[in-house]
């Protein structure tokens, strides 16, 4: 194993020098005015970084807009299976209500509205040494335990923010595998299988982005793990790949079910007919609009049609080049184009 220090919060343990509570101007990197003093290593079971990794991650952190939406590239490695304990973070996710689709137009796309509380968000770039590069979105309240904008001058906050690499709510990897989740009524979970690792509902997304190139490979990863929903609501997942395949994965009737579909909202899909699914307003709107949609602008238009008053971000992922186009808080005139790798 490479010689690395395990450090709480990856990136952000070495100081990011900002003036007061203000962050960088939108679109600018948060660069220290001078080299910060070295910080002592802090043990963390989840993140594994060298001092150089920490510095690189610190320097990548920037504020994209005033949602606030942040962006960073995580450097180093991490344990996909270990839990993030209260000693590392204080705060849980409470739930999600969302609309997702796989668009097979001029090129394969994956769209998603994340509809929830008015929390800050972050775009996270990751390129693990033993997995695929990816770009993903995370709700920072899961890490911060609150809904206010984080104080980037606080070293403790910076340590927490680095853990966003382990809490993706949706994303795409370099192979064109996209994953997103939505809340679903609870019930019908299968019993835990002895000997399988148990991971959270968002950690399984990180595992799929890191290790799966196709929908079939992603489903296989889910079958090898117990997914734990105790820290939030039960969710189900939409998976899509660059070859054009998509599937909904949900737990119902005491088993994991794989359903051929390319739309996901917030009702249990196991055992439903197409007519029953279309009776859901958002599902029906997407099902009607998808056949004529061709490009990312059409995808964003579909997201606008099904947006709700509490839509926090809308993202269209390109499954060919892993570009993410992000709109925050229904400000449709302002589209952030995010490449797979941060520059």
Nearest to 153 by CA among 7, 40, 17, 30: 17
Query: Measured between alpha carbons, how far is 140 from 92 in angstroms, rounded to an integer?
Result: 10
CB 249 within 8 A of CB 216: no
- Residues 105, 106, 112: CA angle, nearest 5 degrees: 50
Residue 273 is assigned to a structural domain of this protein: yes
Token pair for residue 45?
């079971």
| 1 within some domain | no
By mean pLDDT, which of 3-7, 45-49, 128-132 is the weakest? 3-7
- Structural domain harbouring 164: 10-81+95-338
> Can you tell me the mean pLDDT for 121-126?
96
For residues 177 and 247, the answer to whether their CB atoms sit within 8 Å is: no
Those residues whose C-beta lies under 8 Å from the C-beta of residue 327, and which sit 6 or more positions away, are: 300, 303, 313, 314, 315, 334, 335, 336
Structural domain contains residue 71: yes
For residue 330, the tally of other CB atoms under 10 A from its CB is 16
Q: Is residue 87 part of a domain?
A: no
Taking the C-alpha atoms of residue 194 and residue 312, their distance in angstroms, rounded to an integer, is 38
**pLDDT, tens digit, for every residue of 261-272?**
999 999 999 999
CATH classification of the domain holding 212: 3.60.60.10
Contact call for residues 311 and 112 (beta carbons, < 8 A): no
Q: Is the pLDDT of residue 22 over 80?
A: no
- pLDDT at 256 (0 to 100): 97
Amino acid 237: pLDDT: 98
Residue 339 has a pLDDT of 97
Beta strands at 62-65 and 69-74: parallel, antiparallel or unpaired: antiparallel
- Closest by alpha carbon to 97, among 265, 303, 269, 316? 265
State the maximum Cα–Cα separation within the chain, in Å, rounded to a whole number. 62
- How confident is the model at residue 87, as a pLDDT? 55
Residue 128 lies in a domain: yes
Number of domains in the chain: 1
Asked whether the bond before 68 is cis by omega within 30 degrees of 0, the reply is: yes
Q: For the whole model, what pTM was predicted?
A: 0.75
Tell whether the model's pLDDT for residue 1 goes beyond 90: no
Name the DSSP class of 330: T
State pLDDT tens for residues 60-112.
888 899 899 999 999 999 888 887 765 555 333 334 579 999 999 999 999 99
Residues 290-307: what's their mean pLDDT? 97
What pLDDT, on a 0 to 100 scale, did the predictor assign at position 86? 53
Q: Strands (DSSP E) along the chain, which ranges? A: 47-48, 62-65, 69-74, 77-78, 97-104, 108-115, 121-126, 134-139, 170-173, 178-183, 198-200, 226-228, 235-240, 246-252, 255-259, 263-264, 311-318, 324-328, 336-338
Contact 210, 79 (CB under 8 A): no
* Residue 40, pLDDT score: 33
Tokens linked to 26: 């939108």
Please state, as a whole number, how many other Cβ atoms lie within 10 Å of the Cβ of residue 91.
16
Is 21 among the domain residues?
A: yes
> Cβ(82)–Cβ(46) under 8 Å?
yes
Identify the band that residue 155 occupies on the pLDDT scale cut at 50, 70 and 90: confident
- Domain assignment present for residue 88? The answer is no
39 pLDDT band (50/70/90 cuts)?
A: very low
Q: For residues 210 and 204, what is the distance between their CA atoms, to the nearest angstrom? A: 10
Q: Which segment of 21-30, 62-71, 128-137, 223-232 scores lowest on mean pLDDT?
A: 21-30
By the 10 Å C-beta count (0-12 exposed, 13-18 middle, 19+ buried), 114 is classed as buried
Separation of alpha carbons 300 and 25, rounded Å: 26
**pLDDT, tens digit (0-9, with 9 covering 90-100), for 191-219:** 999 999 999 999 999 999 999 999 999 99
Question: What is the per-residue pLDDT for 151?
Answer: 87
pLDDT at 63: 87
Q: Which pLDDT band holds residue 232 (cuts at 50, 70, 90)?
A: confident
């Amino acid at each position: 194993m490479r010689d690395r220090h395990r450090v709480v919060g990856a990136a952000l343990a070495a100081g990011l020098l900002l003036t007061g509570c203000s962050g960088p101007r939108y679109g600018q990197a948060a660069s220290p005015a001078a080299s910060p003093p070295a910080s002592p290593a802090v043990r963390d079971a989840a993140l594994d970084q060298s001092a150089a990794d920490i510095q690189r991650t610190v320097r990548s952190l920037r504020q994209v807009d005033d949602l606030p939406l942040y962006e960073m590239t995580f450097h180093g490695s991490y344990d996909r299976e270990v839990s993030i304990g209260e000693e590392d973070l204080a705060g849980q996710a409470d739930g999600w209500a969302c609309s997702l689709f796989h668009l097979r137009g001029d090129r394969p796309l994956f769209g998603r509205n994340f509809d929830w509380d008015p929390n800050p968000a972050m775009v996270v770039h990751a390129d693990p040494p033993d997995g695929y590069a990816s770009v993903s979105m995370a709700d920072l309240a899961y890490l911060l335990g609150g809904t206010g904008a984080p104080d980037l001058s606080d070293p403790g906050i910076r340590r927490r923010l680095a853990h966003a690499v382990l809490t993706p709510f949706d994303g795409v990897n370099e192979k064109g595998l996209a994953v997103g989740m939505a809340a679903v009524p609870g019930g019908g979970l299968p019993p835990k299988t002895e000997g399988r690792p148990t991971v959270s509902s968002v950690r399984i997304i990180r595992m799929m982005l890191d290790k799966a190139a196709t929908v079939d490979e992603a489903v296989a990863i889910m079958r090898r793990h117990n997914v734990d929903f105790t820290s939030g609501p039960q969710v189900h997942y939409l998976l899509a790949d660059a070859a054009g395949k998509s599937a909904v994965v949900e737990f119902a009737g005491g088993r994991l079910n794989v359903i051929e579909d390319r739309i996901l909202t917030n009702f249990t899909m196991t055992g439903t007919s197409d007519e029953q699914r279309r009776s859901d307003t958002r599902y029906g709107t997407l099902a009607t609009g998808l056949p004529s949609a061709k490009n990312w602008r059409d995808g964003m238009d579909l997201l606008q049609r099904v947006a709700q008053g509490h839509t926090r971000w809308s993202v269209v992922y390109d499954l060919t080049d892993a570009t993410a186009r992000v709109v925050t808080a229904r400000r449709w005139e302002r589209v952030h184009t995010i490449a797979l790798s941060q520059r």
